[in-house]
A and B are shown apart, each in its own frame.
Chain A
Amino acid sequence: MAYDPQIAAIRFGLGRRAGEAIPTDPQAWLARQLDGEDPGLAAPLHGSSAGLRLLHETRTRSPGKGPNSRQEPKDQIRDIFRADTGAALDMLLTTATPFRERLVWFWANHFTVSIRTQILAGVINAYVSEAIRPHVTGRFEDMLLAVMRHPAMLFYLNNAGSIGPLSPAGQRSKRGLNENLARECLELHTVTPASGYTQADVTEFARVLTGWSIDFERGEPGFIFRPATHEPGSKTVMGKSWPQGEAGGRALLHWLGTHPSTYRSVATKLVRHFVADAPAEADVQRIAGILQQTGGDLKAASLGIVGLESAWRPLGKLRSPFDYVVAVMRALDLPAERRGNLNEAMSSLGQGLHNAPLPNGWPDTAAEWAGPEAIMRRVDWAYAVAGRTDGIDPVRLARDALGPLLPADTHEAIARAGSHREAMTLLLASPEFQRR
């Protein structure tokens, strides 16, 4: 098996960056990226408390109240989103650990929180930093717990206001359960319907999660377990009994986060992301086995993917719009003022940052991304970008970005193009550049 360094950068990384050294030992290069702490944690991001305070203000403040001299909370939310998203894009374009960064975005998509719920825009990037990044090379169950306790998820999937009907608060008010987070946790984040859970399990799980909420009142808003809204008594989920209190939820999440069905689902998604739209059973079993043996060690699972022979077959995956824009921009390494608004570009290609329509996140197969209009928009965008690439030699760029993956006919089309812009368009919109 040939561990092609170019494939390492394209398949496991985010596309080769202009001027980036080609690793002599691709597997070691990838493994090294998973050592130590995520450099992305050092990015100058707002913590979630700033966004949470604004979210709370937006929801509680009556319109027209207070002096107009202050900036509206929604404008401040937008400013935080812009600043944090800019930092996140810089990280994507310049990181020296692109494999780890790809994994960050993979897991953020697995545990989707979407800014279709607009007031979450001020906290979305903090969510990734606080709940996802610390656990990308840690244990799956730890990431699951961090996600389920994070205010962004508790708000997005409506658990913050879920109240046990028999709890003191439930007895006083007519409010009650919200099953949303419990359902999606079972269906999307952990065991999936293949495990055979029932509607009763969903409802019982929702009872377990009552009281998992957000404290907006304290200085640093964040997670709180509210006994007053927690459904009393033990609950039965998937045939097992879970005790009353926060500990019951933690125990259940530990059980779900280490369940063989969860490992299988996660393994399938990883293989689909890194190897092929239709994952081979043997590959899924291999990765699920690693997760089982290591107690859900995501670093071991990620390195397991690197060790799959099938993962080194070139260009088997169509780049998603997010991947495509990032790869083009890494290859070109344009100064910031010539990049254009990359989040807008991703949106126009169908995949705005943190803007998935539904909690199941963005799809990960070519069939979902290769619509006729979608592909035409990629061509249009490639052409627009090509107009800002003066001074970049398209032939050299093609060799740098694709290396041996550049077929002779694409190379020739670029070399023989009628203008610089045409050559750059042909390269950036080529079939090879659309793939990873």
Chain B
Amino acid sequence: MKDLSTMTQSAPRLTRRAALLGLAGAVTLGRTSVALAAAATEQRFVVVLLRGALDGLAAVQPYGDRALADLRGELLAPEPGHEKGLGDLGGYFGLHPALSAMHEMYTGGSLAVLHAAAGPSRSRSHFEAQDYMECGAEQRLSSGWLNRALALLPPHRSTAAGSETALSVGTSVQLVLRGPAPVASWLPQGFGGPDAEILRKLAAMHAADPATGPALAEGLRERGFSNAVLSGQAAAPNRFSFPALAGSVGKMLAAPDGPRIAALELGGWDTHAAQVGRLPGALGQLDSGMAALKTALGDAWARTAVLVMTEFGRTVRVNGTKGTDHGTATVAFVAGGAVAGGRVIADWPGLGAGKLLENRDLMPTTDLRAVAKALLAGHLRIDPARLGPVFPGGEGVAPIRGLLRA
């Protein structure tokens, strides 16, 4: 389709045309997408939005909490040191075994984990909560917090001509980057199909239709979506997977005249059923993507901070279909050479009796706005006094200290 066109995967550089369009872009593909923004800084800042609500207790398992085993039983990964066990994060928390590259970052001091974290909203609606997460407010706004922060940076550099790789204005920029500061969007050729999760649901919805049911099943097979792919147990055939995209973004950010800020998204987290089988695929995509981003950034990794966050967490107890339902607090990750990593930052609320929010969710004790503010102020060097309009209603939230290397 013409409206999903023309940026090639191999040469992901912003062109002069892109610069004229407002020196930023967004890529959308499958369950992942990215928006880019050039900025007057040598610091690199990437936001990864995990859409669908990542189960923080599975990604970063508090194996030291005695209440965990009773609540989570069959969803737990083996403790550190066991076969396919957790990657230890200092004796109380363990990283899911599918996050091996991120565990290496942790031990190398460039990944910090924030646990029991949540934004200010207590909505358990994906749509509302994602909008609030991106608006940086407890209400829907027409712009995102990262765009409003962008406007606080000094005027952008004059942009040199890039390669003549064509860029075409594409579909959507994530809400987090939408707003008055100019952000263009573009789509590489071949990007843009729905992800395996959506296709799986559609295949189920169409199964009984005498015309579209067999056609969709055959169409999926022809495109390489086997049942294993649709159920999340094998990687999607999409060559523009999240790791490939993250690598492309890393190259763009690394370029001397490239953009400095990017927002990516990755879906596949809404594990209402069969979580043990489905979560490793999504976590593996995230893990490989983070590794690809780091590799592609090269020397620029030292000046990089990556914020990974999701709209809310999931219920502490297992539901009736071996999954988890919509909850509240969860994990966030901050990675990069600029990050004072190798730590789990948490005011751990505990899982025992009486400690859960509404007797179902992990209690939030860290405000994601405090994390974002710390990165905008400490990493992008925006005067903290000017951050008020970036997070309306969060003026009293102080940036987390010590998240970045001095």
Contacts and interface: CB of A to CB of B under 8 A. Distances in A.
Interface of A: 318, 340-341, 344-345, 348, 366-367, 369-377, 379-384, 387-388, 390, 393-394, 409-410, 413, 416-423, 425-426, 429-431, 434
B216 A379 contact: yes
Nearest to B51: A419
B219 to A, nearest CB: 4
A429 B269 contact: no
B258 interface: no
B193 to A, nearest CB: 5
Nearest to A369: B211
Interface of B: 1-4, 28, 51-53, 126-127, 130-131, 171-172, 175, 192-194, 197-199, 201-202, 205-206, 208-213, 215-216, 218-223, 267-270, 272
Contacts of A384: 1, 3-4, 171, 192
Contacts of B192: 380, 383-384
B127 A431 contact: no
Nearest to B2: A344
A366 B194 CA distance: 24
18 contacts: A366-B211, A370-B211, A370-B215, A372-B215, A372-B218, A379-B202, A380-B4, A380-B194, A381-B1, A383-B193, A384-B171, A387-B171, A413-B201, A418-B53, A419-B267, A422-B51, A423-B127, A434-B209
Contact of A318 (B53, B198, B212, B269): B212
A348 B1 contact: yes
Given A375-B212, A376-B216, A434-B212, 20 more contacts: A341-B3, A344-B1, A345-B3, A372-B218, A374-B215, A379-B193, A379-B194, A379-B202, A380-B194, A383-B194, A388-B171, A413-B201, A413-B205, A416-B270, A417-B201, A418-B126, A418-B197, A418-B270, A419-B126, A422-B198
A344 B3 contact: yes
A429 to B, nearest CB: 6
Contact of B205 (A341, A374, A383, A426): A426
Contacts of A372: 215-216, 218-219, 221-222
A120 B215 CA distance: 35
A390 B212 contact: no
Nearest 3 CB-CB pairs, A to B?
A: A418-B52, A372-B219, A418-B270
A344 to B, nearest CB: 5
Contacts of B51: 418-419, 422
A379 B127 contact: no
B172 A340 contact: no
Contacts of A431: 205-206, 208-209, 212-213
Majority DSSP secondary structure for residues of A touching B? helix
A423 B127 CA distance: 9
Nearest to B203: A379
A434 B171 CA distance: 23
A405 to B, nearest CB: 13
Contacts of B270: 416-418
A380 B172 CA distance: 15
Given A387-B172, A419-B130, A425-B198, A375 B1 contact: no
A113 B272 CA distance: 52
Contacts of B2: 341, 344, 348
Contacts of B222: 372-373, 376
Contacts of B223: 376
Contacts of B175: 390
A373 B219 CA distance: 5
A318 to B, nearest CB: 5
Contacts of B201: 413, 417, 426
A434 B211 CA distance: 10
Nearest to B3: A340
Contacts of A376: 216, 219-220, 222-223
Contacts of A371: 215
A421 B208 CA distance: 24
Contacts of A369: 211
A390 B172 contact: yes
Contacts of A377: 1
Contacts of B216: 372, 375-376, 379
